[in-house]
């Protein structure tokens, strides 16, 4: 009998993600001066004002593109990064085991970009305050995990090769009461972020708010784009109908 893989046995690609996030934070806090860190943020953080005067910002048009994903590697404080890692480890692990390393990386980058786009569309362009943090990508991983985690024979309810079980359709997911409850709680938490009632380490201070718009953008991108990245074999291939042809016919 094939043994199931523990859901929290962290894949190397997720460990690598954690290491990169910590190294970037260590570079900013331990190596760069305050002036250098300001330049680092201007180059790599997502800043809505950049798109009003691209040429006047460091990095020019290149930064206008790469900051759609580079902002996700930067965090405001150890508490901020710790909060994100607490969510990344379970949900990133589930997605990495489902997608494999390269699809996981591509998925996280795409949902980061989707979060930045949602933030840009819904946010006035004039603020200079940078948006940073991996929350949009992690929100996308949460949504992707909900597409397969709770279904029959999935990671939470099944055994064997649980991560290869074909996922439910988006329509079926949206009818699942457990998913709807999870989404309601998650959207409610982000509503509290938007109202300024809840903040996390290094954010919410000095007028800097949590970018809840990016969380929502990443979540719905992960939910909708799941099938683009999912490598699981379709159900028809896993359980073909038996042939009606008798031997010797």
pLDDT of residue 194: 62
pLDDT at 241 over 50: no
Our CA angle for 219, 99, 175, nearest 5°, is 45
pLDDT of amino acid 230:
92
* Contact assessment for residue 143 and residue 220, using Cβ atoms and an 8 Å cutoff: yes
Looking at residue 27, its pLDDT comes to: 96
- Write out pLDDT tens, residues 104-156: 999 999 999 999 999 999 876 666 678 999 999 999 999 999 888 776 655 55
Count CB neighbours of 219 within 10 A: 28
Instruction: Report residue 115 as tokens.
Output: 């979060």
More confident residue, 245 or 189: 189
**Domain map of the chain by residue range?**
12-233
pLDDT in tens, 153-197: 555 544 546 677 788 888 888 888 888 998 999 888 877 766 655
pLDDT digits (tens, 9 = 90+) for 61-108: 999 999 999 999 999 999 999 999 999 999 999 999 999 999 999 999
Q: Does domain 12-233 have CATH number 1.20.1540.10?
A: yes
Q: How many residues does the chain have?
A: 249
Q: From its phi and psi, is residue 48 left (phi > 0), alpha (psi between -120 and 50) or beta?
A: alpha
Sorted by sequence, the CB contacts under 8 Å of residue 16 that are 6+ apart come out as: none
């Amino acid at each position: 009998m094939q043994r199931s893989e523990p859901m929290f046995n962290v894949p190397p690609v997720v460990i690598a993600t954690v290491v990169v996030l910590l190294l970037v934070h260590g570079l900013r806090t331990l190596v760069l001066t305050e002036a250098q860190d300001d330049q680092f943020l201007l180059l790599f953080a997502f800043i809505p004002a950049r798109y009003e005067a691209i040429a006047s910002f460091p990095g020019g048009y290149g930064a206008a593109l790469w900051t759609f994903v580079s902002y996700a590697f930067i965090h405001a404080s150890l508490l901020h990064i710790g909060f994100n890692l607490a969510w990344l480890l379970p949900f990133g692990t589930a997605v990495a085991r489902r997608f494999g390393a390269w699809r996981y990386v591509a998925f996280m980058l795409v949902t980061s970009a989707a979060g930045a786009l949602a933030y840009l569309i819904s946010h006035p362009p004039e603020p200079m305050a940078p948006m940073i943090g991996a929350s949009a990508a992690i929100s996308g991983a949460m949504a992707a995990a909900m597409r397969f985690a709770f279904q029959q024979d999935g990671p939470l309810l099944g055994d064997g090769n649980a991560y290869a079980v074909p996922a439910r359709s988006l329509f079926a997911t949206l009818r699942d009461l457990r998913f709807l409850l999870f989404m309601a709680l998650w959207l409610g938490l982000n509503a509290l972020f938007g109202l300024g009632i809840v903040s996390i380490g290094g954010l919410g201070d000095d007028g800097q708010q949590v970018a809840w718009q990016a969380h929502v953008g990443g979540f719905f991108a992960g939910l909708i784009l799941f099938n683009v990245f999912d490598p699981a074999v379709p159900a028809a291939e896993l359980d073909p109908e038996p042939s009606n042809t008798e031997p010797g016919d």
